[in-house]
Amino acid sequence: MNKYHIFFTKLANPLKIEIISSLKKSPLSVSELSKKLKIEQSKLSHALASLKHCNIVLSKQKGRKRIYSLNKQTILPILKKIDMHEKKFCKLCPYKK
């Protein structure tokens, strides 16, 4: 399987996109994400594990909580490029809200 296919498949899921969008603003715990996204923790944990497997999302232990954040080295720059692309080239995109 192509590496681009694998990478973008990890992102081609509405829940994972919501997680990434939420973590773009600030690091959060599973319970914080669960409340914010209004989704059960088990489903959220499964999606986080998939994102963590490819280091899209990173985690660190803080007391009894595990805090999740986006990979600042790669994922945040990619998101910035996507935002720039959307702003510059997608003005007439029929799918833009």
**Which positions ≥6 away from 49 have C-beta within 8 Å?**
none
Measure the CA–CA gap between 76 and 92, rounded to whole angstroms: 25
Structure confidence at residue 11 (pLDDT):
84
Confidence check: pLDDT of 82 > 70 = yes
Confidence check: pLDDT of 93 > 80 = no
Q: What are the structural domain ranges in the chain?
A: 3-70
Tell me: domain 3-70, CATH 3.40.50.2300, correct? Answer: no
CA 9 distance to own-chain centroid: 12
Q: Is the dihedral of CA 97, 74, 27, 52 positive or negative?
A: positive
